[in-house]
Amino acid sequence: MPPANPDRLRDVPTEPGPGPGPVLRQEAGGDQYLASTTPTLQDAIRTTEVEPKPDPDSIASSAACPKPVAEEKAWAVDERPAFSLCSSPIKESSGANPVIASSGGLRGWLVVAGGFIDFTVAFGLLNSFGTFQARYEEKWSHLSTTTITWIGSIQLCLFFLGGLFVGPAFDKYGSRCLMQLGTAFCLASFVCTSWSTQYWHYLLAQGLLFGVGNALLFYPATGAISGWFNEKRGLALGIAVSGSSLGGVFWPVIIDRLFDVMEEEVVHRIIALISTPLLVLSCFLVRERPEEPGQDGGQGHGQGQGQSLKTSLIAALCERRFLALSVSLMILNAGMLIPFFYIPLYSQEQGIDATMANNLLAITYSGSFFSRIAAGWLADKFGRFNVLFIVGVLMSVVTCAWIWMTSLAALIAFAVLFGVFSGGLVPLGSACVAQTAPDMNHIGLRIGAMMAVTSVGALGAGPVSGTLRDSAGGWVAVHSFAASLSMLGAMMLFAVRCWYKPRLLASF
């Protein structure tokens, strides 16, 4: 019920409290005062009842003549705009606790810039393994395609699986220490790969070390960006992850040119010299919001919410809709990764020279650069699940058409179209997980758990498709397998979307 005699509240002098604005209270008996108090999120969303302080002078009279129960309560009044508790609107995500909508501000967009640099270097190199694959096919002619593909598959598996550990670590410790450790792992990977002489050396140096380093760089940046943005989260993630497309454009070209004029060990050292300063810069730019982990004396922002990291992980893995979403994204990612593994090799077998074959990989990433930004903007407007479903279907159709792409012009068209339709998968997958999270306190954990499930597809996609190619003696099985995975993942995602939001035409 509202406070009695509201007109009398206008004459009360105001004193600023420690929070964004004072909270006006009224005690039983009509005495009014302003209490300096830090407002909570619940104060901003609804009028809350506040226990009154006992008045020693009125205890005896209250015992003799008790007042009605309604007058025994005090009420906190949020009278916007005079006493605005927050400068941005309050929104409630579907099935989630209310969160404060934020456009990020200047600091938030600096975090996006840091994530962009991070993804350009680390994620761009991860996506450029097809260039190394083609070179290693020439170097190790005695090894099968499947065997060589295991290097890239280990990279991707550890990158995805690492989220199960890096995500909770971000929730507890923040981004800085994790990204610095990831930079050190990447530097060690480049240097150790330059010293490698045998196949198993490459498995450990380029596969294991670089995969772990990428995980330590990706999840803190993604979690920090998600914490700074709500309504523009898809756009912010799309801009940041588009850096991986930019890296996928210039890294294959740079690596291919370096291999033509230098020894292999020198190539890896030059990559280290280029990438390390940029990664250090991204470590300084990426920061979580003040209420996020690492800003409150080391306490994870899940603390104080009544739920530990372990409990949140168990709850996420026991949530059927979240598991179904993770499995659908696993299948979609597996279908997407296969063409990136084999575009250069397939093109060379169609008579395209090695330089142009590697340029096709760069063309693919150039197509995905703008589509990742556009997909994020469209997702914020029409729904993240809706846009991701359409992206998955179109990617499957284009992959199926890859079977008939044999000329240079056709392969260029495929590279552009596949890049456009596959570009939105990475940022929108994380955006969908953030949208359906019960709260943002353990967003790193949930994104990491989803990516850990996705690691199964990342680990098996390359070797399984390589086995299909070797056993079937051609590429039709590889193309069909990739297209089928993409379509299956899209259909499962649509089913999960209907599970969350049965209304088909709703923006979700």
- Do 389 and 249 share a structural domain? yes
Please tell me the least confidently modeled range out of 44-53, 126-135, 196-205, 258-267: 44-53
Looking at residue 486, its pLDDT comes to: 92
- Residue 1 inside a domain? The answer is no
- Do 348 and 378 share a structural domain? yes
- Residue 92 inside a domain? The answer is no
The residue among 58, 87, 116 that closes a domain is 87
Residue with tokens 């790969």: 193
Greatest mean pLDDT among 17-26, 82-91, 243-252, 480-489: 480-489
Q: Which CATH number covers residue 481?
A: 1.20.1250.20
- Do 226 and 119 share a structural domain? yes
Alpha-carbon distance of 174 to 172, in angstroms, equals 6
| Average pLDDT for 337-353 | 86
- Report DSSP letters for 216-239, one per residue: HHHHHHHHHHHHHBSTTHHHHHHH
- Do 65 and 141 share a structural domain? no
- Do 200 and 70 share a structural domain? no
**DSSP letter (8 states) at residue 403:** G
**Count of domains for the chain:** 2
pLDDT higher than threshold 70 for residue 209: yes
Show the domain range for 456: 98-500
Residue type, position 222, single letter? T
Which carries the bigger pLDDT value, residue 12 or residue 104? 104
- Do 174 and 134 share a structural domain? yes
- Do 59 and 112 share a structural domain? no
Alpha-carbon distance of 366 to 346, in angstroms, equals 19
Task: Round the average pLDDT of the chain to a whole number and report it.
Answer: 75
- Are 19 and 53 in contact by the 8 Å Cβ rule? The answer is no
Please tell me the total number of residues recorded for the chain in this structure.
508
- Do 104 and 81 share a structural domain? no
- Residue 130 inside a domain? The answer is yes
- Do 281 and 146 share a structural domain? yes
- Residue 155 inside a domain? The answer is yes
- Do 71 and 175 share a structural domain? no
Confidence bin at 191 (pLDDT 50/70/90): very high
- Residue 93 inside a domain? The answer is no
Alpha-carbon distance of 50 to 37, in angstroms, equals 12
- Measured in whole angstroms, the distance separating CA 231 from the mean position of its chain's CA atoms is 15
- Do 389 and 362 share a structural domain? yes
pTM of the model: 0.65
